[in-house]
Structure 1
């Protein structure tokens, strides 16, 4: 027995249950594509060099400011690692020039990436190439070029101040020499000598101050130039980073499952073929649906028909005439009629089975139950005429072949004609259609207890 549901209910569970083969096929295709891709793709190797960012000079600013300054400095180095200046310097390296033909900044762009190492003050420079040696050479050349470019920028930053101090020291040195000559030429203990000595001391003081500033500037340049240094050179990798068969297969598995589910949902939504008894029950509007399972050829399955006959007797009295028709021309109304007749015979009734090929009429003497098999309304209007006399009707459908709308149409037609649809039979495509030894050797056949 099945509860009635709206005819358009389709769930993810239905899709998974009905489209298992389709999902498996999509999954196998995706896995096969991922495996083939991992074989045909060119091998790519990655090598990384590590650089240390010295942030100790920011420690006097407080923790928060030092942390912010360090992040800004690291971001500056990361951006500078892929600049044209650094990449051109890397191409000028002898090892890179030998391993990478026609090397240029445009060629290296896209093969270099830089980033901070989580939780540290280090920057990793990673290069990818077709050979392990080229990947390591490029990573080391870019790291060294980054250090050199940083030192060059520091030198350019301090150059105006350095040039000014150097020119001042040269001017003061010449002025001191001239003052000494003038002091030597002045008479001893004369006002000229006293003034010359005072002027010489003034120049000497200015010189000492500028010289101290020049020394501080040199120390600052040395410290700033040491902010960035290579702490670990890149080494040639032993295995390629791409393709990675496990990663490709994992991606293919995920993609196959997602794509398979989407395809299954779409097919389930648009495919209205009857696959479950519940679907047939919703289509014909009945709670009694019998499913005939798959069975070897010429082997009948009497149990479902016996149960159906028992339910019909219990719920619909008097049950004298039963009209059996297929939802479509391909549904086995005759086979179901014979099986129902056999089930009624086993229950002790006398039964007359009128196949679809028989002429009109009811056998005499009148049996306990007459089972009339009528062609589908797709091929004949006979079922409509038979249903106009009232009585009970059964709609037969084939799993995976009959469509929801066809079964619904046949049931509605029977109801409009005057029959009461009391049950439905869903027959598997290869279900046994035997008749328990009975054959319709004539136009009609009578079944009874021997």
Structure 2
């Protein structure tokens, strides 16, 4: 199976699980947004809004005198919009600045005023927003009044020009012409225009003067706080999902099973610190300090699952490997050997990591003679294997529980261990040699379970040569350390050699994981 085929099987992670893992991002961003909005609301200068209402005149003097509308537009909506645009123009603002004696610039006055025409009621709302409620009301009235005044002056100027044109025409007429019907009509028109000049209203009137507002429109702490909290939550959700999507690490049970396409055999809780180069372990310790420890229960579960596979599929020789170093594969193999031994099974444990062996340190065994020595033909298998006393790695006193440790103590046996031996110059060739097959066959006759700890799959090819020689392979992977890409690559490598993959052991699980036992459940009152 190629890498592309594997990637096609990668399914999106659950958004709910992602948000739960990144919940602190959402919480922190929501709190920050709330704090910022509250701070801005406190330090922000209050803003007040005053509104003056203009109403468009329905009747007009020109209709009364001439029987038709001369100066009003027949398109009411257009007239309202045009008048509104004229009100918040720099021309009107300049007049308002002079009439009110405002110290603000014309540009600032224009930015403070807005208009909202309404065709349903033939009105225009003139709104002014500013830091002083009294000033805002005065400016709103001034903008409305000056706009009406400018329209009046414009209409009057047009009437004056029309009247002057008629008067010039009349001045050229003879007395006889003046007595004619045309002369009399022209003279009557001059009189009507004179009257119309005096009656001009600009088409609008100030229906409702602005009142100084009692409360500001901003800031509003409650509204701003709710808005800030909502924005923070939305941004937090986006950042949390984006962060989780960018993070390729495997974090929970579903991630491991989905990306490895393998069942989880056991979840090993995190104990202690990380692995160090001197061999001090972190992902869990070899041996068990208490018969009720969560680690022991996890290995009991692993043992039970393996016994099921043994019955169903004849599983006896098992390779334990991982993708990278420091994932606790050696600790897992060793503790699994202990768990099987205390159940009465005959166990042989082999350290085939001929590059960075640690098993002899954990079990306090001499490593002068081991697997490399036997592979090189310098020793026999019978002389290289060492006996490990299980009692050295188990609690001294065992109390009775529903898991019956007394029975385990009665059945427990020591197990055999073949350490790595001195580091050879050609480990890959030695492990792939026919001699390695003979060693596995020989030790297999001595045990019910033959466990092999190998080098990491992604680091070297040592484990690959052994994977096809065993009954099954267990992959050990560390929670919140292994990535999706590593899972796919491990699966591809082992699939290519035809390895029989049994399942996963996930180490370094915090809080026990979804399926791990609660350690406190097994504590007994003394």
The two structures share one fold, judged by TM-score above 0.5: yes
Contact 1:10 1:268 in 2 (8 A): no
Q: Residue 85 of structure 1 aligns with which residue?
A: 91
- Within the candidate set 507, 510, 517, 1:427 is matched to 507
- Matching of residues 6-405 of structure 1 within 5 Å: 6-11=8-13, 13=15, 14-56=17-59, 69-94=75-100, 97=101, 100-101=102-103, 103-117=104-118, 119-167=120-168, 199=176, 203=179, 208-218=184-194, 220-221=196-197, 225=201, 227-286=203-262, 288-290=263-265, 292=267, 299-301=293-295, 305-315=299-309, 317-338=313-334, 340-341=336-337, 344=340, 349-353=345-349, 356-358=358-360, 359-360=370-371, 363=416, 366-377=446-457, 382-405=462-485
Deviation at 1:75, TM superposition (A): 0.8
Q: Distance in 1 between matches of 2:486 and 2:294?
A: 26
Deviation at 1:403, TM superposition (A): 1.5
Deviation at 1:225, TM superposition (A): 1.8
Q: Distance in 1 between matches of 2:503 and 2:194?
A: 101
Deviation at 1:78, TM superposition (A): 0.7
Q: 1:351 to 1:234 in 2, by over 3 A?
A: farther
Deviation at 1:48, TM superposition (A): 1.6
Contact 1:49 1:234 in 2 (8 A): yes
Deviation at 1:53, TM superposition (A): 1.4
Q: Distance in 2 between matches of 1:323 and 1:400?
A: 23
Q: Distance in 1 between matches of 2:74 and 2:343?
A: 91
Q: Residue 431 of structure 2 aligns with which residue?
A: none
Q: 1:220 to 1:7 in 2, by over 3 A?
A: farther
Q: Distance in 2 between matches of 1:293 and 1:68?
A: 85
Deviation at 1:329, TM superposition (A): 1.6
Q: Which runs of 5+ in 2 are unaligned?
A: 1-5, 273-288, 352-357, 361-369, 372-380, 386-415, 417-442, 517-526
Contact 2:319 2:467 in 1 (8 A): yes
Per-residue Cα deviation, 1:68-122 (whole angstroms, up to 9, x for no partner) = 721011011111012222111110123xx2xx42x34223222211112474221
Deviation at 1:235, TM superposition (A): 2.2
Q: SS of 1:225's equivalent? A: coil
More deviation, 144-153/404-413: 404-413
Deviation at 1:129, TM superposition (A): 2.1
Q: SS of 1:154's equivalent? A: helix
Q: Distance in 2 between matches of 1:411 and 1:32?
A: 48
Q: Distance in 2 between matches of 1:230 and 1:403?
A: 72
Q: Distance in 1 between matches of 2:498 and 2:136?
A: 84
Q: Distance in 1 between matches of 2:151 and 2:453?
A: 94
Equivalent pairs, count: 396
Contact 2:13 2:255 in 1 (8 A): no
Contact 1:274 1:280 in 2 (8 A): yes
Structure 1 residue 407 corresponds to structure 2 residue 401: no
Contact 1:143 1:230 in 2 (8 A): yes
Q: 1:212 to 1:335 in 2, by over 3 A?
A: farther
Q: Distance in 2 between matches of 1:59 and 1:22?
A: 70
Q: Which runs of 5+ in 1 are unaligned?
A: 177-198, 435-450
CA RMSD of aligned residues (A): 3.9
Q: 1:243 to 1:353 in 2, by over 3 A?
A: farther
Contact 1:284 1:412 in 2 (8 A): no
Q: 1:126 to 1:294 in 2, by over 3 A?
A: farther
Q: Residue 184 of structure 1 aligns with which residue?
A: none
Q: Distance in 1 between matches of 2:327 and 2:63?
A: 87
Q: Distance in 2 between matches of 1:290 and 1:332?
A: 15
Q: Normalising by structure 2, what TM-score?
A: 0.64
Contact 2:318 2:452 in 1 (8 A): yes
Q: Normalising by structure 1, what TM-score?
A: 0.73
Q: 1:432 to 1:206 in 2, by over 3 A?
A: closer
Q: Distance in 2 between matches of 1:170 and 1:119?
A: 48
Contact 2:10 2:258 in 1 (8 A): no
Contact 2:319 2:473 in 1 (8 A): yes
Q: 1:34 to 1:17 in 2, by over 3 A?
A: same
Deviation at 1:145, TM superposition (A): 0.9
Q: 1:240 to 1:294 in 2, by over 3 A?
A: farther
Q: 1:291 to 1:217 in 2, by over 3 A?
A: farther
Q: Distance in 2 between matches of 1:402 and 1:88?
A: 70
Q: 1:16 to 1:219 in 2, by over 3 A?
A: farther
Q: Distance in 2 between matches of 1:77 and 1:227?
A: 10
Q: SS of 2:505's equivalent? A: strand
Deviation at 1:50, TM superposition (A): 1.2
Q: SS of 1:51's equivalent? A: strand
